[in-house]
Chain A
Amino acid sequence: MLTRLMRTYLRTRTGSVAIVVVLLVAQTVGNLYLPNLNAAIINNGVVTGNLGYILRTGAAMLAITLAIGGVAIVAVYWASRIAMGAGADIRDDLFRTVQSFSTRDMNVFGTPSLITRNTNDVQQIQIFLQMALTMMVIAPIMSVGGIIFAIKEDARLLPLLAVAVPVMAGFLALVMVRVVPRFRSMQVKIDRITQILREQITGVRVIRAFVRVTSEADRFAVANDDLTATALSVNRTFALMPAMMMGILNISSVAVLWFGGRLVSQGSEPIGNLTAFLTYILQILISVMMAAMMVILLPRAMASAERIVEVLETTPVVTDPDTPTSPRAPTGRVRFDDVAYAYPGSERAVLEHLSFTFEPGETSAIIGGTGSGKTTLVSLIPRLVDVTAGAVLVSDVDVREQSQEELWSAMGIVPQSAYLFSGTVASNLRLGAPAATEDELWRALTIAQARDFVAAMPGGLDAPIDQGGTNVSGGQRQRLAIARALVKAPRLYLFDDCFSALDAGTDARLRVALREATRDAVVVIVAQRVSTIMHADRIIVLDDGHVVGSGTHAQLLVDCEPYREIVVSQLGEDAA
């Protein structure tokens, strides 16, 4: 997955990647060459007392240092561009893909998960790329180059490396194997603490009413002990890391001086080479540590890549037909023709044998308890999901044969949870009709019984709305959502249980005004409350995915037992 992702997003950046690699090679070789020059200063300058040589070589070292610094900065520039650019591209593609998702696809992932994928996961990939474009290139060149240069200094010291490198690598592996799983278990325990504290905050009333403060304290103490024990053991093991790494590096230096010193004393090696060799062995061991870091990072990046690719490679369940058919007249008439719907993989249908027509100029209502399939039924009309059998026709054309944009342009929806976008009242109302005039907005607000409170808001139409509409009350939110649909002036209105937060008086006034405003349109109201839909031209009673009754309130009271049951449970025996 990671390689596939890399291939896709680095393909357009091969040039930049090549530049970075070349620059990093140059940088690393330069860094490796410096100790060489230092050795020369000692061998040819210090030992022989040749001051001129010292100065000349020193100048060369300075020049190389400058060059390395410049090269490194340019390399970082390009590496950052690549990593951050690829990240931005991935985010763009993720977002674009998600926008083409159907409601079903959205539910498969869930909003929080999609957000995580778009931010944290992409960030993991960015970190990985940045690291890959520095350490992953530097580490191998540094080790190989270090070994080559070290051999050049003296191949007889090579066995030292053969011991030090595996010891270092082995030790790092050991710590990781021991720490990583415990680190995970520590995270679980932190989550547990968070969980208990969240429960204590949200459940404060219940806890105190039942006088359970003490038992809550006990519950927390257990989790706190548990976390502390694990955190202690993890951090104590981790304390080994710096100690051991420094230890290995330092003892290696001592060993170089001992074995190298013998060679020097035999006269078979210039003393300056020793200092160079010392530097090389340090550089090699440091690149081993860098490689270890990559090893830690890799699984995370791989997991993230998998989660990203999963989204990118999802084919939306609902797609536009190749050759869309336009309705001859956009009447908004809705016809269900023996419709059935079942969740994928589920044997039992949520909806079955639904056949009815919603005519223009008619208000139709659908009632039924939770789980009766009301919301699913409504989402079939804008084709947020597709039927599994039968057909849904809007303006006499199967919704699957229309282009989605055209289908949607004919309808106004007020969903169950009245969601508003951050912006202003006006920007929300213009969602479906960007060119609507202020007069049109006020007219819609008047019908939706929202005129007074909008006029009272500071700024009126330009009053700010927070994300989700959290700065207005539930009832106001619902009225704004209704006004939003009215501004669009569609042929077909879908009201999905959106009068629940309104008080009785407003509810009644709103319904009278709506009736007037939507006189020629198709109006579909979904509700749980009988009082909301009692006056509809036709009520369809849904139970367990089947139509169990259809008619006016009075008719249904007489011949539909499930409807009677609902009425009794909500309004009392005497209402029926």
Chain B
Amino acid sequence: MSMGPGGGFRAAVGVGPAPIAHSRDTRATLRRLVRRLHPERFKLLSAVGLGVTSVAFMVSGPWILGRAMNLLFDGLVSQRLPLGTTKAEAIAMLRAHGQDQIARMIASMTVTPGVGVNMTSLGRVLGVAALVYFLGSIFTYSQGFVMAGVAQRSMFALRRDVEEKLARLPLRYFDSHSHGDVLSRVTNDIDNLTTTLQQGLSQLLTSVLTIVGVLGMMFWISPLLAAISLITIPLAIGGTLLIARRSQVHFTNQWRRTGTLNGLVEETDTGHSLVQVFGRRGAVIDEFSRQNRALFDASFRAQFLSGVIQPTMQFITNINYVAIAVVGGYRVASGLLSLGAVTAFIQYSRQFTMPITQIASQMNLLQSGVASAERVFEFLDETDEAPDVVPATAVPPAATRGAIRLEHVSFRYETDKPLIEDFSLDVAPGETIAIVGPTGAGKTTIVNLLVRFYEIDQGRIVLDGVDYRDLTREEVRRSFAMVLQDTWLFQGTVRDNIGYGRPGATSEEIVAAARAAYVDNFIRTMPDGYDTILDQEASNVSAGQRQLLTIARAFVANPDILILDEATSNVDTRTEVLIQHAMAALRAGRTSFVIAHRLSTIRDADTIVVMAAGRIVEQGSHEDLLARRGVYFDLYHSQFSGAEELG
């Protein structure tokens, strides 16, 4: 009986393992997994040692019990023989009475005619058996205990490495991979791997050792009976594999159909009112029934087939049992084997099939674990962000604060798609740069370059007289603060979220920032004020208030240069006015790059950068650009003409 937290029931009940995503290079992944266990090698070795010991104890138990059985049987037979005769005399006597069978049996036994069971010996043997079993349990426990440490510490290290990797990956990685996939690698796959290591490793070890030990004992006791049992082993293995493989197909099918059905439910539930109003209720119910029927077929087959394994194994065990009982009984009767040996043998044969079934189920677990490991390793192998070439300087050598100059900057996300070519811009401290363009025009590209999320290909960016390349990324970023449309806040208190802008911000500074961002009043209406926990679904804060909180966070950061996204969606008109005021206050006296959506901001900007289709197409002041009658002119008139006409 072996169960582990989670997973154990699946195998027991036959829900089946999760669909196995086959790994591409199992051997390389396994080798790497083993390498990762290297720091734990001594612990692992001691676990193997403990495992060997515990199996040795467990396996010798039945043999000792068999000896106890022999003692009993010998005693019983001896009792029936006349007292005072020797063993040889007794045998001769039996032969004379034509009882050749019994004579032959007794010849191989330790009998003292006329004397009953030696209870002292029996007690001693059973005492040894109890001790052996007890020690066996202790070692089994110790092995599990050590193994839990190995598995959990290794997984601790893996989680740590993965998190560190997250911090080292370039932004490019996050922009080109779906968040869901990354998250699934660093969470689901690691969880799956943990389960595999925790349960699989320990059980696989025990199972293999048990098979070896039991097989050894069986051959030692009786090569003939062992050979007979061995005939049933390929039967057991073959049968299990055959059924497992066939049911695996259905399990995969079941998971696929569950996925399809989930998709259908998700789809119709998400589009619920559409389904109703467009009169499709009957049609989707029919479709669901059809899919549901298909799922039933697959799951029934999978369930039935995997359910057959248990009776089949039992059947094979029972055949083995009968064969041993018959052949063994025959051999005992013929004096070729002791009764204790046969009873011990029966116990061994029963212990034999269980590890085989277990290994079969662990193979599935192992396969999915390896597939997960491969995905995690793949993630760990992603190229890191190039390290900063310059050491961090103690004091930024800045005479001015917030001056930034782009000189002949070129940048492409993909080498064959020109994006920003030879772009120059000189921004004095306190100036406002408006970036405008339709949705999807690539306005964030400039942001990406300014805060060095991406490195430019050519040209240079100079911050307060210092080339970006002579600064570390962190030094560059310390000059900036951002308020983006995506109002990221973490699960923590309001205070911590605002204070996130600058490590070590005092409570007073945080409250002052909240006040400046017009969110102080709102915070005070929350149940715990500044100590209210923002939950992830953010059901307790509206989109507009989240935006205000991120503005407060930027206030705390007190940057020289500001990056603002004016776009506000899902914000009610009143909060929007607050956001506008707060952003204006934040901009005062700072260099600002604004992804602009408002006429007032655009007109007042010192420079307007116009983007279209991912490229910078124009730059200049409002008047310049209007006079040019180019892209900006068109954009301005289509987007803001309504206002203009009315004005």
A340 to chain B, nearest CB (A): 21
Q: Judging by beta carbons under 8 Å apart, are A61 and B325 in contact?
A: yes
Q: Judging by beta carbons under 8 Å apart, are B274 and A415 in contact?
A: yes
Kindly list 17 other residue pairs between chains A and B, CB separation below 8 angstroms, not including A99-B276, A574-B646. A45-B329, A68-B311, A92-B289, A130-B14, A206-B482, A210-B500, A238-B5, A243-B138, A246-B137, A247-B134, A265-B116, A370-B542, A371-B572, A384-B273, A467-B263, A534-B642, A571-B643
Given contacts A224-B159, A404-B276, contact A58 B322 (CB under 8 A): yes
Residues of A within 8 A of B330 (CB): 51, 54-55
Residues of B within 8 A of A472 (CB): none
Q: How far is the CA of A280 from the CA of B346 in the complex (A)?
A: 14
Within 8 A of A (CB), among B528-573: 536, 542-544, 553, 557, 563, 570-573
Given contacts A65-B322, A204-B174, A224-B160, contact A571 B488 (CB under 8 A): no
Within 8 A of A (CB), among B315-332: 315, 318-319, 321-322, 325-326, 329-330, 332
Within 8 A of A (CB), among B332-365: 332-333, 339, 342-343, 346
A156: interface (CB < 8 Å): no
Instruction: For chain A, give the interface size range.
Output: 35 or more
User: What total of chain B residues lie within 8 Å of the partner, measured CB to CB?
Assistant: 169
> Which residue in chain A gives the minimum CB-CB distance to B57?
A250
Q: Judging by beta carbons under 8 Å apart, are B638 and A203 in contact?
A: no
Given contacts A111-B270, A369-B574, A504-B638, contact A243 B159 (CB under 8 A): no
Q: Judging by beta carbons under 8 Å apart, are B598 and A572 in contact?
A: yes
Q: How far is the CA of A415 from the CA of B273 in the complex (A)?
A: 9
B191: interface (CB < 8 Å): yes
Within 8 A of B (CB), among A62-81: 62, 65-66, 68-69, 72-73, 76-77, 79-81
A124 to chain B, nearest CB (A): 10
Give the most central of A72, A84, A296: most B CB within 10 Å. Answer: A84
Residues of A within 8 A of B277 (CB): 382, 384, 408, 411, 413, 432
Q: How far is the CA of A77 from the CA of B281 in the complex (A)?
A: 35
A93 to chain B, nearest CB (A): 10
| 5 tightest A-B CB contacts, nearest first | A239-B144, A72-B311, A265-B117, A571-B643, A49-B101
B204 to chain A, nearest CB (A): 14
Residues of A within 8 A of B646 (CB): 557, 567, 571, 574-576
Residues of B within 8 A of A413 (CB): 273-274, 277-278
A34: interface (CB < 8 Å): yes
Residues of A within 8 A of B137 (CB): 243-244, 246-247, 250
> Which residue in chain B gives the minimum CB-CB distance to A105?
B272
30 example contacts (A-B, Cβ-Cβ < 8 A) are as follows: A46-B339, A47-B73, A50-B333, A54-B326, A58-B326, A65-B315, A65-B319, A69-B312, A80-B300, A100-B281, A101-B272, A118-B262, A195-B536, A197-B186, A203-B490, A204-B174, A205-B488, A208-B451, A210-B477, A211-B478, A217-B164, A220-B160, A241-B1, A244-B141, A275-B346, A384-B277, A432-B278, A467-B267, A508-B638, A574-B647
Within 8 A of B (CB), among A202-243: 202-206, 208-213, 215-217, 220-221, 224-225, 227-228, 231-232, 234-236, 238-243
Residues of A within 8 A of B39 (CB): none
Q: Judging by beta carbons under 8 Å apart, are A210 and B133 in contact?
A: no
Residues of A within 8 A of B478 (CB): 211
Q: How far is the CA of A244 from the CA of B451 in the complex (A)?
A: 60
Within 8 A of B (CB), among A242-270: 242-247, 250-251, 253-254, 257-258, 261-262, 264-265, 267
Given contacts A201-B166, A205-B171, contact A111 B269 (CB under 8 A): yes
Residues of B within 8 A of A421 (CB): 267, 271
Q: How far is the CA of A32 from the CA of B468 in the complex (A)?
A: 82
B98 to chain A, nearest CB (A): 12
B480: interface (CB < 8 Å): yes
Residues of B within 8 A of A58 (CB): 322, 325-326, 329
> Which residue in chain B gives the minimum CB-CB distance to A505?
B638
Residues of B within 8 A of A183 (CB): 5
> Which residue in chain A gives the minimum CB-CB distance to B488?
A203
A389 to chain B, nearest CB (A): 23
Q: Judging by beta carbons under 8 Å apart, are B9 and A297 in contact?
A: yes
Q: How far is the CA of A7 from the CA of B440 in the complex (A)?
A: 57
Q: How far is the CA of A62 from the CA of B326 in the complex (A)?
A: 10
Q: Judging by beta carbons under 8 Å apart, are B167 and A217 in contact?
A: yes
Which of the residues A253, A271, A405, A571 comes within 8 Å of B73, measured between beta carbons?
A271
Which of the residues A62, A232, A261, A371 comes within 8 Å of B122, measured between beta carbons?
A261
| Segment among B215-223, B301-309, B511-519 that sits at the interface with chain A | B301-309
Which of the residues A91, A134, A236, A262 comes within 8 Å of B145, measured between beta carbons?
A236
Q: Judging by beta carbons under 8 Å apart, are A96 and B140 in contact?
A: no
B436: interface (CB < 8 Å): no
Which of the residues A55, A106, A242, A409 comes within 8 Å of B2, measured between beta carbons?
A242
B467: interface (CB < 8 Å): no
A395: interface (CB < 8 Å): no
B390: interface (CB < 8 Å): no
Q: Judging by beta carbons under 8 Å apart, are A251 and B643 in contact?
A: no
Contact with A along B178-206 (1 / 0, CB 8 A): 01001100110001001000100000000
> Which residue in chain B gives the minimum CB-CB distance to A474?
B439
B108: interface (CB < 8 Å): no
Q: How far is the CA of A201 from the CA of B379 in the complex (A)?
A: 13
Q: How far is the CA of A379 from the CA of B274 in the complex (A)?
A: 12
Q: Judging by beta carbons under 8 Å apart, are A265 and B272 in contact?
A: no
B631: interface (CB < 8 Å): no
Which of the residues A127, A505, A576 comes within 8 Å of B9, measured between beta carbons?
A127
Q: Judging by beta carbons under 8 Å apart, are B300 and A84 in contact?
A: yes
B32: interface (CB < 8 Å): no
Residues of A within 8 A of B600 (CB): 572-573
Residues of A within 8 A of B148 (CB): 232, 235-236, 238-239
Which of the residues A69, A115, A379 comes within 8 Å of B311, measured between beta carbons?
A69
Residues of A within 8 A of B92 (CB): none
A108 to chain B, nearest CB (A): 12
A522: interface (CB < 8 Å): no
Q: How far is the CA of A215 from the CA of B116 in the complex (A)?
A: 79
B633: interface (CB < 8 Å): no
Q: Judging by beta carbons under 8 Å apart, are B488 and A243 in contact?
A: no
Given contacts A58-B326, A203-B490, contact A242 B265 (CB under 8 A): no
Give the most central of A76, A77, A126: most B CB within 10 Å. Answer: A76
Residues of B within 8 A of A202 (CB): 179, 486, 488
Q: Judging by beta carbons under 8 Å apart, are A76 and B308 in contact?
A: yes
> Which residue in chain B gives the minimum CB-CB distance to A53?
B329
Residues of A within 8 A of B477 (CB): 208-211
| Segment among B81-89, B149-157, B366-374, B424-432 that sits at the interface with chain A | B149-157
B391 to chain A, nearest CB (A): 16
Residues of A within 8 A of B191 (CB): 190
A498: interface (CB < 8 Å): no
Within 8 A of A (CB), among B241-283: 258, 261-263, 265-281
Give the most central of B271, B536, B638, B642: most A CB within 10 Å. Answer: B642
Q: Judging by beta carbons under 8 Å apart, are B144 and A243 in contact?
A: yes
Contact with A along B108-132 (1 / 0, CB 8 A): 0000000011010011001001100
Q: How far is the CA of A236 from the CA of B296 in the complex (A)?
A: 39
B61: interface (CB < 8 Å): yes
Q: Judging by beta carbons under 8 Å apart, are A131 and B307 in contact?
A: no
Q: How far is the CA of A186 from the CA of B5 in the complex (A)?
A: 11
Given contacts A62-B319, A264-B76, contact A257 B68 (CB under 8 A): yes
Q: How far is the CA of A197 from the CA of B185 in the complex (A)?
A: 11
Which of the residues B182, B299, B642 comes within 8 Å of A201, measured between beta carbons?
B182
Q: How far is the CA of A492 from the CA of B476 in the complex (A)?
A: 57
Q: Judging by beta carbons under 8 Å apart, are A106 and B269 in contact?
A: yes
Residues of B within 8 A of A42 (CB): 329, 339
Residues of A within 8 A of B271 (CB): 419, 421
Q: Judging by beta carbons under 8 Å apart, are B152 and A235 in contact?
A: yes
Q: Judging by beta carbons under 8 Å apart, are A254 and B130 in contact?
A: yes
Q: How far is the CA of A73 from the CA of B58 in the complex (A)?
A: 32
> Which residue in chain B gives the minimum CB-CB distance to A434?
B283
B232: interface (CB < 8 Å): no
